[in-house]
Amino acid sequence: MDVNGIAALVTGGASGLGRATAEALVGLGAKVVVADLPGSPGAEVAAGIGAAFAPADVTDTDSMSAALDVAASLGPLRAVVHCAGRGQRVRLVEKDGSPGSLETYKSIVELNLVGTFNVLRLAAARMAATEPVDGERGAIVLTASIAGFEGQIGQIPYASSKAGVLGITLPAARDLASKLIRVCTIAPGVFDTPILDNIRDDVKASLEASVPNPRRLGQPAEFADLVLAVLGNAYLNGETIRLDGALRMAPR
């Protein structure tokens, strides 16, 4: 797929991996919609990079449909990159002996997994109504995490929700094959995003040292580069790609 001139939507596009992806797509001539929560800096980010902004909650059908309407106003929707998500530490048995929070677990799964399904189904229906170009209608790139393979202690909500995204990838690609829509997932390792802004320098250094090669945190632009490669390679489908510098997470 040539992204020049296409309409594309990036969820979680106000910061981190999503913002870098939106910037990269705009840089190659795509007409990009940044979709993020109403209280996010999405409007400012979008204006700064030459994109449109659509306030949206990925778990909400109405606001996501409205965001897709904005994208459709720019042209046929060909690319969706789903980056929205979050994690929160939960132990099965907390330090005070109480059981881990079921409410927190449900909220993380709702956002990371149910939100992924919601974006996927709504975006696929829009793409399926477009005319094929060079044998395909579009591509959807989901975001999982290496925690979906090797979740650490305290990561049960995050790890299980991201493992669910891994499980979505192949059946979604098979489901949408008849519609000429590809689905792939990227599973990032430890990346230098705003989520790490508040950690101590020694903890950040420890994270960097845990990556075999290159021994540093991943850069959001490197995630965006892989998104572009997935969109550009029409034979890449139904695959989860680890982007982690050969890191395999330890138990803690």
Q: Which residues are catalytic?
A: 158
Query: Among residues 235, 243, 231, which one has the least CA distance to residue 24?
Result: 231
How far CA 227 is from CA of 51, 80, 125, 214, in Å, comes to 17, 10, 21, 20
DSSP 198: T
The answer to whether the beta carbons of residues 18 and 10 sit under 8 Å apart is yes
Helix boundaries (H) for the chain: 16-27, 42-49, 61-74, 102-109, 115-128, 156-176, 201-209, 220-232
Residue 164: HSE in the Cβ half-sphere, 13 Å Cα cutoff = 17
Helices 42-49 and 16-27, axial angle in degrees (round to 10): 30
SS3 177: helix
